[in-house]
Structure 1
Amino acid sequence: MSKQVQVHAALFLVALIYGSNYSIAKEVMPFYVGPFGLIVIRVVSAALFFGIFSRMVVKEKIVGRADNLRSIACGVTGIAINQLCFFAGLNLTVPINAALLMVISPVAVLLFSAILLRESVSFRKVSGIVLACLGALLLINTSRSESVSGNIFGDLLIILNAVSFGMYLVLVKPLMQKYKAVTIVSRIFAVGAVIVVPFGWHQLLTPDYGSFPTSIWLAIVFMVLAVTILAYLLNTWALRYANPSLVGAYIYLQPVLAILIATGFGKDEFTLQKGLYALLIFSGVYLVSRTRQNVGKEAPISEASEQA
């Protein structure tokens, strides 16, 4: 299997995992574990796993003040803010809204790439930003009139999560040219764990875990092993061979997969109005992401990105 196929297979698997997580997480929250308590379970479990694996197998350290500060920023944006906003938002809104709003991440990737990596922004990309933002605003406005659309505050939290994750994809790219994926993921989860524990400690201790049915335990195990450990590892590894915009582009698949899974299990409904708003979002992010990608070999970091 060629490296190009491996990268695309990894990114598709990540999209499938995230797409299923919208519905699976809603089964656990908030009746069994609160959103922040669930985050503590996920992040601390991943931090312990990657920490032990990194020390015993990889034995690599991040060196230098600049790289250490960047890895801390990745932990804040890619784990702490990302996870706290996503699960708090998903707890309030519905899976379809959350999945659709997550496609704003590629737009955030473009903006932060222009700021941090000094990449040029064309008229076509600006038009894409306008379309994607318009679709997101219309979808949020729907939350005010449709009871099935959940909570407008939840939608806003999902947007903040999407922006934070987009910034993480840009920040982590230079580190991937220097260190192994496990080394980076180990550090960012350690940083994230320190931040999320105070938020979710009370919710972690509240549930009666002995009363959980088997299906809920399986859902929690899936969120720890697949959504947290495997997805982050695959995404970070893929960034060694692909640009952040390609990794972000695979987020477009998440709403499609999430909608198919949610509607298939009768957990949500997809209206024509939402479809039109989704089309605006997809059109916008498509315009933003229409760039050539060098997949299958390590992309060199530009001088600008090294200084970011």
Structure 2
Amino acid sequence: MKNKKTEANICMVISKTFSGLNMNALKYLLPLWISPLTGVTLRCTFAAIAFWIIGFFVPKENTTRKEKGILFLLGALGIYGFMFFYLTGLSKTTPVSSSIFSSLQPIWVFAIAVLFFRERITKMKIIGILVGLGGALLCISTQKSDDLASDAFTGNLLCLLSSMIYAVYLVLSNRLLKSSGTFTLLKYTFTGAAVSSLIVTAITGFDAPILAQPIHWLPLGILLFVLIFPTVISYMLIPIGLKYLSTTLVAIYGYLILIVATIVSLSIGQDRFSWTQMIAILAICIGVYLVEIAESKDKKSPVSTNQQT
């Protein structure tokens, strides 16, 4: 089991590093080379096809029709909803601000555990949540729209909503993994997401100048990176982490997204250094740390519910 946990931690490091680079790659593409909703469609459809193809080469996993239906709905609402708000928000704000809200996922995971799974509430957890949310509100209320963020306020709100939806996906997929295999989860959730995205695209239209002639090799290469690494490979690695690590610990790896996106964004000029952003980042990190420390103490306590989130 120890080796499995080490493998799971390595998978999460790789997955979240790709996710951090994904923010910078998508910011380059959106909305000049591809519209946000078309980007969601390409990611979900490409991933669904890839997971079904890969699924033919892995051992068959036993899953009931009801479980497959639940996974399909989880993808249609959870994964698609997350990507819908995430890409739309990122197109309006900066990668650093977007990654700030991704770091809030452990707090949402705990809030879901409290509301639906009777997670124990402590003073430290409440303080952690308030500090983390204070950091998020600071980022939302102080960032101004400029040449790097066309509508920072709206973009930040959408990214905040996307982090909440993804936390729900983390909690539910963690519980569904107990009865269904990794590739069954990936195949059916992304099939659901692909169906939702195709329906929306049929209504809103397909907008991808990147695929028009003549071929623009740099944007196309960046798009292929997004489709293969942060989408297919990253999502293949997440269930491994969910299987052997607590959902909260998996969510905490979202800090890597923040670190990678911040370093790359400041290096290539996708964002500017801001003290308010740095304070927001610090507040969220402290808030999540307090929640995680409180949860660890609860698990060691004899009156702990031992409920993994």
Question: Which TM-score applies when normalising by structure 1?
Answer: 0.88
- The verdict on how the C-alpha distance between 1:119 and 1:264 changes in structure 2, with shifts beyond 3 A counting, is same
User: 1:246 is matched with which residue: 246, 249, 258?
Assistant: 249
The aligned residue for residue 128 of structure 1 is 128
The aligned residue for residue 31 of structure 2 is 30
Identical residues among aligned pairs (%): 24
Report the AA paired with residue 15 of structure 1: K
Q: Aligned equivalents of 1:43 and 1:184: distance in 2? A: 14
User: Residue 10 of structure 1 contacts residue 234 of structure 1 at CA under 8 Å; is this kept in 2?
Assistant: yes
1:175-186 matches, within 5 Å, as: 175-186=176-187
Q: Aligned equivalents of 1:77 and 1:115: distance in 2? A: 20
Structure 2 portions without partners, runs of 5+: 298-304
User: 1:221 is matched with which residue: 219, 224, 239?
Assistant: 224
Q: Which moved more, 1:234-243 or 1:202-211?
A: 202-211
Q: Deviations over 1:255-291 (max 9, x none)?
A: 1111101111222112122111211111111111223
- The verdict on how the C-alpha distance between 1:263 and 1:168 changes in structure 2, with shifts beyond 3 A counting, is same
Report the AA paired with residue 209 of structure 1: A
1:1-308 matches, within 5 Å, as: 2-55=3-56, 57-63=58-64, 65=66, 67-68=67-68, 70-144=70-144, 148-151=148-151, 152-201=153-202, 202-204=205-207, 208-290=211-293, 291-292=295-296
Question: Which TM-score applies when normalising by structure 2?
Answer: 0.88
User: Residue 103 of structure 1 contacts residue 252 of structure 1 at CA under 8 Å; is this kept in 2?
Assistant: yes
Deviation at 1:77, TM superposition (A): 4.5
User: Residue 33 of structure 1 contacts residue 203 of structure 1 at CA under 8 Å; is this kept in 2?
Assistant: no
User: Residue 70 of structure 1 contacts residue 171 of structure 1 at CA under 8 Å; is this kept in 2?
Assistant: no
- The verdict on how the C-alpha distance between 1:76 and 1:52 changes in structure 2, with shifts beyond 3 A counting, is same
Q: Aligned equivalents of 1:70 and 1:191: distance in 2? A: 10
Q: Which moved more, 1:262-271 or 1:113-122?
A: 113-122
Following TM superposition, where does structure 1 have runs of at least 4 consecutive aligned residues deviating by more than 6 angstroms?
302-305
Q: Aligned equivalents of 1:79 and 1:178: distance in 2? A: 20
- The verdict on how the C-alpha distance between 1:147 and 1:207 changes in structure 2, with shifts beyond 3 A counting, is closer
Q: Secondary structure of 1:277's partner?
A: helix
Q: Aligned equivalents of 1:91 and 1:62: distance in 2? A: 38
Q: Aligned equivalents of 1:83 and 1:209: distance in 2? A: 24
Q: Secondary structure of 2:244's partner?
A: coil
User: Residue 52 of structure 2 contacts residue 187 of structure 2 at CA under 8 Å; is this kept in 1?
Assistant: yes
User: Residue 92 of structure 1 contacts residue 150 of structure 1 at CA under 8 Å; is this kept in 2?
Assistant: yes
Structure 1 portions without partners, runs of 5+: 294-301
- The verdict on how the C-alpha distance between 1:73 and 1:132 changes in structure 2, with shifts beyond 3 A counting, is farther
